[in-house]
Structure 1
């Protein structure tokens, strides 16, 4: 809690949804269910991609990276939120707040670039199928994934210290359930223009350029799909790309809408629910979207379950 002199003793107070106490217990139950589903679904994707040789392809390599990012998103924020929703204490340590800020900035940047890499992978698979293996070779896949991770982490290494160094004049009550950059900037009593300006400049290569590459890639994919003569071929190509488009729409629409809202009370309330959406609901939906009509993943699940039954049968004898 805040001390009499206005300092916070190094901790922050995450107000979260404390202005709606009746909503807190509902959110606790909903969040713990979604968190369990998100962790289970994304770990399943990673596990299947590792154990099934048929899934040792660029598409599932990048999908495993996306699942790992989703796990980072949820684990960096939801456990702390559940603790704050359950009890009267709403505090988070300074180190915990810095960790959340670093994780959000890193994962957000990585996911923007990774989604553009996945769009390029689908472009090559559909538009240049005969050259797919030669183009998307393992070394290039590793380089593209490493570039995405390093770019996101570099963005966070630069922006996290600058954001935390803003003067707060003893203010420690963050009107959010997580330490993300807009919420921390709002409690600053210093001029935030340079930090916000730098964030906007960095958003061009990290957010807008990948979005442009995604739009170009899927535009070319759509044109190629329309040129396919057979209905079955068009359907296969559509199923391959539609899951990626759905994930891109979920991620970018939420991020862009949230960060373009004006800084009034109503938009802050909207921001809480939108942040909750992209750090919990989206990571839960991503494995479902990618596996709902995916025969390769269904086959991998059957293999794993079949081996489990075989082992159980042998142990029974």
Structure 2
């Protein structure tokens, strides 16, 4: 028996091996498939921004246009960057606008055109990855400058007004009162939106819409609080639902520190297609690994649907699977905030 809990290390190793055996086929599936949100995340890294007058992001319009012409099976990067070269356009957002207007057609390039398109797409996406790297380095500098809270555990408080401009003063007040991590709860139902809203929002329901601009505004406000208080205040949001990869990408670009990211939440609690969920979660966790973001998994939700004692084993199974999937995607142990849903009752074996 070892460790604080006196667990049998052989039993722990056996449990982790079972999680690997259960999870590896899912990883194999995720490595060989894609989704519209994965492809949109790739194009966001390549620089697509903004939305049309109806609020539909240009990245959605671009992916939809590519899918209509050539399908999704080989990804959208090669057709997009092939079209950029054919049309003589340098701006990928401008290409999205032209595609939405029906003035651009897409094809799966071959030969030298395919080689050139792949080279150009890698260069463009690499620029987005480097931007995430810069934000991670920026976090490291600020933590070194302002310091981490000395106490453990960190105090985690929630804001959820629906209005980002109301959330900000609440978040700063919470930090002054001792909060170390601020979580901006997402608007009800956003996990089922197949797009990420654009811009600052003021009309969320039981939470505030997760958007890149809202991420930017809250991060700037908490940086101001970090300077005021002399300790780095962390920011949490959500990478779950239908836009997991995009949320992770935007979080990396705007230097969020933690994200709610569970490998099975969308399947169990939002009835989202399981294949899509597992493909999306792997990509999102790869982005989180690169961005130095801590993930929090969702085992707390089990208490809402099952008895905490009779079904306690499901929590452990979920933790083991979340750990396996996280490690496979490149997350380090310090980035894993595994959730829990146990009744803390000393009389229960």
For normalisation by structure 1, the TM-score amounts to: 0.28
Q: Which has the higher contact order (CA 8 A, sep 6+)?
A: 1
| TM-score, normalization by structure 2 | 0.26
More helix by share: 1
